[in-house]
Structure 1
Amino acid sequence: MAATQIDVGGYKLAAEITGSGAPTVVFSSGLGDAGEAWDATIAALESSVQLVTYARAGIGASDSLADSTPRSLGAAAEELHRLLTAANVEGPYVVVGHSIGALIGQIFAARWPPDLAGLVLVDPSDAQLWLDYDKPKLVMADGDRDDHASFDVRLGAAEVTASRRPLSAPSFVVTSRVGRWLDAKTPELFRPFSLEVLDQRWQSWHKTLAADLGATQRVAEVGGHYVQNDQPELVAGAIDELVQLAAKARL
């Protein structure tokens, strides 16, 4: 299906809006990813509802930003909110995010709680971890286009911390399998952490995040960071549960 170009305030984002039925499920992808990152999970869904996938500025068929200054994760959450408003997609939404897209989803959930029917965070990134490396990652490129956008990691980490509080809607944190960091091919990038310590930190980060949000945690059994591709039924099952809960709440 061809993407629709939607003006979000001086530039256009490519989005695909398919299906019908409430609540709408909105997907927020990881760094440099467009909506195709969710194909396997969408295929595994049992729910028949409206679905929204999109590409952030500078990704896929979306326009670039006029200002190349690294932006905050909150700015990307604002961008998503403008997209849904401009497309006349009404909430409340089940927001599903992967990696850095999960952090955007977490901030979205904290800023617009009335618009939230549920939240699924798929192997969310640890922004503080990027700052704790021997060579901190202060800026993260959002894709590999020449005109890509980028994120200010310090600003993003502060926003994630501020949004880390109990949610009024049900939620899931879906974590990649225990031991997946041990397969990393470039351990030197993660110093001073050993891969064993990194893996333990990742699992601990997700456990405490789930507790702080009041979310249910589920841990994958296979695959790596892209849980939505490696074990799509796990992510799809969490989405289906939230859709069913939202349907019951409307009765």
Structure 2
Amino acid sequence: MRQRIPFLTACLVAGVLATAPGCGGPSALRGAPAASSSVPATGDYSGQVDVGGGRRLYLSCKGSGGPTVILESGIHDSSDTWNITDTRPPVPDSPAVFPGVARFARVCAYDRPGTIRYSDPPAVTTRSTQVNGTRSLAAMADDLDKLLTTAHLPGPYLLVGHSFGGMITRLYAQRHPEKTAGLVFVDAFGTNIRQLFGTEWPSYVKLLNNPGTPFDSRPGFEKVDIDGAIDAVTAAKPLPEVPMAVLSKTEPFAAAPGTSKTLLATVERSWPAVQQTLVDLGSQTPHILATGSDHYVQVHDPDLTISAIRLTAGRINTKA
């Protein structure tokens, strides 16, 4: 189902805000998921997976075939961003990334705790158990590993990370090279960003964790130790030599009202260097520019995102 969504991306703020009216998520995602102790190897699955400590994470899977594709959303975003589209002419209507990838591979997405549903009105997800306080990147990567292990999803995985989600998939790959088949970075966050931002960095970090949603002050709303995340990736082992692809926006980040023009200028000036550093992580890594798209490339140009995932999957299969 094609849906036109008003986005407030404000330099990796990544959130759908409650000020965006009428952004109802796909009907298949509405309602509380059923608990399940097993995830089938093929076909549609939607439910909660016990990851220990009295916590459950919502997981949705579709399709069949390898490698298994794991979709990781940006900061504050639930898995809904992979199930909606907002294409404009001359780009034709396209299936959303989640069902599009399911046409050629097994694909799974999940809700991190405290992320926002693209429901009407938007709400913090109740599909995954709430976690209070600021989270470390290590804890988020550990959650991903527990989820994949408990669900018995066959690896190694093709990890697709949007925005800050690229930091999660990157640390996961560094910690679990044997479980990583490939990486696709969708306008992703990078470790050189702090240096590039200079004196604007503290303002940017504050904006990332407090993007101006009605949920900012809730204990369970996703907050991340951004500086610690950069330090964790920098200190970890190098990425495994696997096929990669980088997709990057060409249009400016949408700005929340009142956002500093100096900060926005810093973001736009720095972002190409962030993207190029991601390209340089691998050998012969395609750098694909999503012409006409802002930060949410998977929503505004889903067919291009699907194609990049398919290309990387094909290189994995060829290598095997």
TM > 0.5 fold call: yes
Counterparts of residues 47-196 of structure 1 (less than 5 Å): 47-59=103-115, 60=125, 61-65=127-131, 68-126=132-190, 128=194, 132-133=199-200, 135-137=203-205, 140=209, 144=215, 146=218, 147-163=220-236, 165-177=238-250, 179-181=251-253, 184=255, 186=257, 188-189=259-260, 191=262, 193=263, 195=265
Question: Deviation string for 1:83-106 (max 9, x for gaps)?
Answer: 000001121000001111111111
Q: 1:23 aligns with which of 63, 67, 73?
A: 67
1:158 to partner: Cα distance: 0.9
1:154 to partner: Cα distance: 1.4
1:202/1:136 Cα in 2 relative to 1: closer, same or farther (>3 Å)? closer
1:239 to partner: Cα distance: 0.5
**Preserved contact between residue 130 and residue 137 of structure 1 (Cα < 8 Å):** no
Q: Distance in 2 between matches of 1:164 and 1:190?
A: 37
130-139 vs 117-126, which moves further:
130-139
Q: Distance in 2 between matches of 1:167 and 1:35?
A: 26
**Preserved contact between residue 117 and residue 242 of structure 1 (Cα < 8 Å):** no
AA aligned opposite 2:278: L
Q: 2:269 aligns with which of 200, 212, 218?
A: 200
233-242 vs 134-143, which moves further:
134-143
Q: Distance in 2 between matches of 1:42 and 1:55?
A: 14
1:52 to partner: Cα distance: 0.8
1:190 to partner: Cα distance: 5.8
Q: 1:8 aligns with which of 51, 66, 69?
A: 51
Question: Deviation string for 1:67-87 (max 9, x for gaps)?
Answer: x33121121011001000000
1:132 to partner: Cα distance: 4.4
Q: State, as a whole percentage, how many aligned pairs show the same letter.
A: 28
AA aligned opposite 1:135: S
AA aligned opposite 1:13: L
AA aligned opposite 2:79: G
1:221 equivalenced with 2:294 (yes/no): no
Question: Deviation string for 1:26-70 (max 9, x for gaps)?
Answer: 0101122222211212344385221111001233211112xx331
Q: Distance in 2 between matches of 1:194 and 1:180?
A: 9
Q: Distance in 2 between matches of 1:33 and 1:42?
A: 15
SS in 2 for 1:89: coil
TM-score norm. by structure 1 comes to 0.86
1:20/1:131 Cα in 2 relative to 1: closer, same or farther (>3 Å)? farther
SS in 2 for 1:21: coil
AA aligned opposite 1:175: S
Q: Distance in 2 between matches of 1:42 and 1:85?
A: 21
Q: 1:42 aligns with which of 95, 98, 101?
A: 98
1:232/1:132 Cα in 2 relative to 1: closer, same or farther (>3 Å)? farther
Partner of 1:235: 305
Q: Distance in 1 between matches of 2:150 and 2:222?
A: 21
1:180 to partner: Cα distance: 1.7
Aligned length: 244
TM-score norm. by structure 2 comes to 0.68
1:149 to partner: Cα distance: 3.2
Unaligned runs of 5+ in 2: 1-27, 34-45, 84-95, 116-124
Q: Distance in 1 between matches of 2:108 and 2:289?
A: 25
CA RMSD of aligned residues (A): 2.6
